[in-house]
Amino acid sequence: MSSSNFITFPKDFLWGAATSSFQIEGSPLADGAVESDWYRWTHTPGKIAQGDNADIACDHYHRVKEDVAMMKKLGLKTYRFSISWSRVMPQRGVLNEKALDFYRALIEELNQAGIQPFATLYHWEIPVWAEGGWENRETVFAFEEYAKAVFKRLGSLSAYWVTINEPLVIACCGYMWGWFPMGKTDANAYGQVAHHLNLAQALATRAFRDLQLKGQIGPAMAMSTFDPFSQNPRDIVHADRLDAIHNRAYLDPMVDKGYPQQFLDFAGKLQGPIEKDLKLMAQPVDFVGVNHYFRNTCRYKKGANILDNENFLAPGSRCSDLDWEVRPESFSDILFYVWDRYKFKSVFVTENGMATRMSKRGLEGTMEDDVRIHFLGTYMTAAQKAMQRGVPLKGYFVWSLMDNFEWTMGYDPCFGLIAVDPKTQERRWKKSAYWYQGVIEKNGIDLNELPLEPDYQLSPAAEAKVSA
């Protein structure tokens, strides 16, 4: 800590790593579990890159003790994981005791290792018996029943609970862009699903309060800035519209602000007792989780897509291997935006990380991942700058603990600190894992020790498109 460039964090700061059930557990139909929408999606030809699926994933379902021991060695203060609805409730109203035992054992193993469990109720999987997915209002009440059941059985074992992970991504990728289940491209379906997810988040929060559990609860939101491509007033208005559709549509109802008009104009008429629902949605939360990967630079172009938007990277921009822009300033900006606009009591970075591709870097480039160390170090520094601006940031979770099944992209994008061979299940520490171990031990980052020439991808042209 002798360096003048050492960035320190509060003594009680929670350093963690995150995963999700479907992405690491494998054995999706084991011990009485039923198919989820994602299980069916991964077994539908043409939906997943390389024809990959999550039937084995990281085999975490059989390797809990080994993986928790690895987390302890890494020095994690907390570990964020998710619970599979389709494991725990194979039929509506019916509980699977073997599934509950699995998650209870995981939580107890974490507690024994001195690692704070940070449990997520829902990370994208819907059991197939919930017909119609999130478009069906009945799914909201089935989720409330599931939440109550989990809280009654496991709620006292974890001090932190995330209700829903990234409602935006569920609605956006599944109902606006058609990449995820249910595969729709419909603005009204997007709006209806967003509304139902907001209501489900509120009802789960209320259930937690009703049981008088002592822990903290909040959602994990996919958040990014929407910056205008130019100072043309048309682009400025357009960027604000996209911010309303993607960010404020999920956060405003939580603080009793209702829906932004731009969201309602885009989504069209929503079904249900909307005013009554909005009153329910204003459930106070203990924290908001921010999942952040890249910013959006927006240019209005009528008819370009469902959003009339073109999203560009400037030439020579640093990118991850997924062509996602690397810009730590945007991380600081979005953390400040969430706190300054909404004044939530606490904020956690519930996901932040970058992907490398084995197909681009090979084994050596994957393991000697200076680029990830640089990314994490600069983004953590940006988070600390947000704290200096007043953001009550309480913890940071790297996405992800280990390489896993990355949804429609399969296994080639690798976000993990730990490399996992999907064929042999061998776990190997990357250089970034050793580096993060040191960050946790020192409770800070020595900027002088960050790699000087990280091997980012560079945007080749002014109009290189990135993922929306």
Q: What percent of the chain has pLDDT over 70?
A: 98
- The predicted model gives 82-110 an average pLDDT of 98
Contacts of 192 (CB under 8 A, 6+ apart): 135, 267, 270, 271
- The predicted model gives 306-330 an average pLDDT of 94
What pLDDT sits at residue 241? 98
| Eight-state DSSP code of residue 208 | H
> Quick check: is 96 in a domain?
yes
Mean pLDDT in the chain?
Answer: 96
With beta carbons less than 8 A apart as the criterion, state whether 171 and 190 touch: yes
With beta carbons less than 8 A apart as the criterion, state whether 113 and 70 touch: no
> Quick check: is 1 in a domain?
no
Give the CA dihedral 359, 365, 367, 368, nearest 10 degrees. Answer: -160
3-state helix/strand/coil string of 306-361: CCCEEEEECCCCEECCCCCECCHHHHHHHHHHHHHHHCCCCEEEEEECCCEEHHHH
* Predicted model pTM: 0.96
> Quick check: is 152 in a domain?
yes
How confident is residue 311, by pLDDT bands cut at 50, 70 and 90? confident
Is residue 460 pLDDT above 80, yes or no?
Answer: no
Q: pLDDT tens-digit profile of 109-119? A: 999 999 999 99
CA neighbor of 25 nearest in space, from 161, 160, 125: 125
> Quick check: is 439 in a domain?
yes
Is residue 1 pLDDT above 50, yes or no?
Answer: no
Token pair 């997810």 in the structure block, residue: 197
> Quick check: is 254 in a domain?
yes
Is residue 419 pLDDT above 60, yes or no?
Answer: yes
- The predicted model gives 434-452 an average pLDDT of 97
How confident is residue 3, by pLDDT bands cut at 50, 70 and 90? low
- The residue type at 102: F
CA neighbor of 417 nearest in space, from 16, 7, 6, 9: 16
Joined tokens for residue 372: 């990830």
Is residue 371 pLDDT above 90, yes or no?
Answer: yes
How confident is residue 215, by pLDDT bands cut at 50, 70 and 90? very high
> Quick check: is 392 in a domain?
yes
**What's the domain range around 283?**
6-465
Q: How many CA atoms lie within 13 A of 360 on its CB side?
A: 14
Looking at the 3D structure of the chain, how many domains does it have?
1
User: What is the C-alpha to C-alpha distance for residues 388 and 335, in angstroms, rounded to an integer?
Assistant: 11
- The predicted model gives 318-343 an average pLDDT of 97
The secondary element (H helix, E strand) that includes residue 18 is strand 14-18
Q: Which residues are part of the catalytic machinery?
A: 166, 351
Q: pLDDT tens-digit profile of 102-143? A: 999 999 999 999 999 999 999 999 999 999 999 999 999 999
> Quick check: is 196 in a domain?
yes
User: What is the C-alpha to C-alpha distance for residues 313 and 315, in angstroms, rounded to an integer?
Assistant: 6
With beta carbons less than 8 A apart as the criterion, state whether 277 and 197 touch: no
Which CATH number does the domain housing residue 348 bear? Answer: 3.20.20.80
Q: pLDDT tens-digit profile of 344-354? A: 999 999 999 99
How confident is residue 463, by pLDDT bands cut at 50, 70 and 90? very low
Joined tokens for residue 66: 């080994």
How confident is residue 461, by pLDDT bands cut at 50, 70 and 90? low
